[in-house]
Amino acid sequence: MLRSCISKKCLGQHVLGLSLLFAAPFAFAAPAIDVHSDPNCGCCGAWVAHLEENGFDVNHHRDGDVRQVKIEQGVTPKLASCHTAIIDGYVIEGHVPADDIKALLDERPDVAGLAVPGMPHGSPGMETGRVDDFAVLSFTRDNRAPEIFREYTQ
């Protein structure tokens, strides 16, 4: 492929491409994620730690009005959990596993975002010792019913 390069700029792009290729297994380069939560929410902080352990660059806003964020982002009471996050135009509601956020950013489906309603035991940030089945739902801003994005069963 380098043979097709006739300008320095083009060669530079190839080198950049190669360096990204080599960097990929070691670093996950996602846009920053903005997490909104109540200041006293412990499991929200534990979920943020889970994201950071998985390579996410997290801006944790602990002083925001989370309910207002949910209304603005189309998170209905049925979908709601403790924290609401936004990454690259998608809404992430509740204890969604980092891998599912990566899959969302990779696949880019036509949805508003992902949600794990409530706070299921055993989901990331909810390590209580008890492990329940839970599902990650994808949802839209219209009246379509949420769909199952991924299921976690024992």
Binding site for Cu ion (CB under 5 A): 43, 82, 119
For the bound state, the minimum distance from the C-beta of residue 153 to Cu ion, rounded and expressed in Å, comes to 20
Nearer to Cu ion, 93 or 111 (CB): 93
For the bound state, the minimum distance from the C-beta of residue 18 to Cu ion, rounded and expressed in Å, comes to 41
Q: Both tokens of residue 18?
A: 């190669």
For the bound state, the minimum distance from the C-beta of residue 63 to Cu ion, rounded and expressed in Å, comes to 17
Nearer to Cu ion, 79 or 82 (CB): 82
Nearer to Cu ion, 82 or 92 (CB): 82
Nearer to Cu ion, 5 or 58 (CB): 58
For the bound state, the minimum distance from the C-beta of residue 144 to Cu ion, rounded and expressed in Å, comes to 26
Of the candidates 85, 76, 78, 72, the one whose C-alpha atom is nearest the C-alpha of residue 124 is 85
Nearer to Cu ion, 5 or 62 (CB): 62
Burial group, residue 63, by CB count within 10 angstroms (0-12, 13-18, 19+): exposed
Torsion region of 129: left, alpha or beta (phi above 0 gives left; psi -120 to 50 gives alpha): left
Determine the distance from the C-alpha atom of residue 110 to the mean position of all C-alpha atoms in its chain, rounded to a whole number.
15
For the bound state, the minimum distance from the C-beta of residue 95 to Cu ion, rounded and expressed in Å, comes to 6
Determine the distance from the C-alpha atom of residue 24 to the mean position of all C-alpha atoms in its chain, rounded to a whole number.
18
Residues ≥6 apart with Cβ < 8 Å to 34: 59, 61, 85, 86, 87
